[in-house]
């Protein structure tokens, strides 16, 4: 009889051992939540991480930062939707289950993943960038390009067709922006309305075509391209 009782006790202990520990569940859920928040971290680094020395981050690395930021954002959206479905399923089961300990632990862990994913998906809106503060130094670095283009125009009566027309004759090399995610300036010849454009492509996660732009005419108000602009000195930040 005692042996039967001992066996029953052992089985009971094993069943209890199968019950997930709240600490472990929260630890695992917190780990997945931090993983789901990776896009928010990459997004912040792309806009705010400076170069510690010229060329510290090459164009390929900058592209990788933008690429992985976009991919991880898609993963965060998937985690958000998946965790939401799981939360709804668990919530429905909890309504009809008497012993709720295990499911409550799982609900707490999945909830952490949901919240982490939500932060990442909303990061472009939650982490409001001070565009004037961030991009004013970029505009100052880009002034060297503008000066070189205008010097070329004074000497030749026309604006350069491409970068090679004024580099290195009027500018030793194209400067860097100083932003890890958006390291390069671009120059392109315009038309009679806009003689030339100096810009920085600044995609902010996912499918986005934001751009930091300089036009010598300064008539930005007439051109919105379906978005809106934010002045930064003589430049503007275009929000797509």
pLDDT, residue 39, reads 63
One domain for residues 121 and 137: no
How many angstroms separate the Cα of 218 from the Cα of each of 5, 95, 196, 231?
88, 62, 11, 10
- Checking if the pLDDT of 75 tops 70, the result is yes
Do residues 96 and 39 share a domain? Answer: yes
Given 77, 97, 126, the domain boundary residue is: 126
Check whether residue 109 and residue 136 sit in a common domain: no
**pTM for the structure as a whole:** 0.58
User: Does 220 lie in the same domain as 135?
Assistant: yes
In a domain, 28, yes or no: yes
For the cut 50, the answer to whether the pLDDT of residue 225 exceeds it is yes
Range of lowest pLDDT (80-94, 113-127, 176-190, 205-219) = 113-127
In a domain? residue 3 = no
Residue 124 to residues 15, 35, 120, 141: CA-CA distances in angstroms?
A: 46, 17, 8, 25
Assign 55 a pLDDT band (cuts: 50, 70, 90).
very low
Q: Which of 94, 126, 158 is the last residue of a domain?
A: 126
157 shares a domain with 109: no
Residues 136 and 217 in one domain: yes
Give the Cα separation of 214 and 220 in Å (integer).
9
> Is there a domain that residue 6 lies in?
no
143/118 same-domain check: no
Q: What is the pLDDT of residue 205?
A: 54
Is the model more confident about 20 or about 123? 123
Instruction: Let me know if residue 45 belongs to a domain.
Output: yes
Which residue stretches of 97-130 are H helix?
A: 101-121, 123-126
Q: What percent of the chain has pLDDT over 90?
A: 26
27: in domain: yes
Q: Choose the final residue of a domain: 79, 97, 126.
A: 126
Structural domain including 234 reads 131-239
Do 47 and 150 reside in the same domain of the chain? no
Of the chain, the percentage scoring pLDDT greater than 70 comes to 62
Q: Are residues 91 and 170 in the same domain?
A: no
Domain count within the chain: 2
Most confident of 89-103, 131-145, 176-190, 209-223: 131-145
24 within domain boundaries? yes
Is 196:189 a contact under the CB 8 Å cutoff? Answer: yes
Do residues 117 and 153 share a domain? Answer: no
Tokens of 24: 């472990």
175/233 same-domain check: yes
Structure tokens at 151: 């010097």
Among 1-5, 158-162, 185-189, which is the least confidently predicted range? 1-5
Query: For all residues of the chain together, what is the average pLDDT?
Result: 75
Q: Is residue 1 in a domain?
A: no
Does residue 137 share a domain with residue 107? no
Alpha-carbon distance 72 to 49, whole Å? Answer: 18
The answer on pLDDT for 94 being more than 70 is: yes
């Amino acid at each position: 009889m005692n042996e039967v009782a001992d066996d029953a006790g052992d089985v009971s202990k094993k069943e209890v051992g199968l019950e997930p520990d709240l600490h472990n569940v929260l630890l695992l859920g917190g780990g997945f939540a931090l993983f789901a928040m990776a896009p928010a971290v990459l997004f912040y680094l792309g806009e705010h991480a400076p170069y510690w020395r010229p060329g510290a981050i090459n164009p390929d690395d900058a592209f990788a930062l933008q690429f992985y930021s976009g991919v991880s954002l898609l993963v965060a959206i998937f985690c958000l939707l998946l965790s939401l479905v799981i939360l709804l399923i668990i919530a429905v089961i909890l309504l009809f289950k008497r012993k709720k300990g295990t499911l409550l632990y799982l609900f707490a862990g999945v909830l952490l993943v949901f919240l982490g994913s939500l932060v990442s998906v909303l990061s472009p809106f939650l982490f409001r960038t001070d565009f004037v503060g961030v991009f004013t130094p970029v505009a100052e670095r880009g002034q060297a390009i503008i000066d070189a283009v205008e010097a070329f125009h004074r000497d030749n009566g026309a604006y350069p067709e491409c970068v090679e027309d004024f580099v290195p004759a009027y500018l030793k090399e194209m400067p860097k922006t100083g932003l890890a995610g958006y390291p390069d300036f671009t120059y392109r010849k315009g038309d009679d309305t806009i003689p030339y454009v100096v810009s920085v492509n600044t995609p902010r996660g996912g499918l986005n075509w934001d751009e930091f732009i300089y036009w010598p005419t300064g008539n930005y108000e007439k051109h919105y391209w379906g978005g809106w602009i934010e002045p930064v000195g003589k430049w503007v930040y275009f929000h797509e």
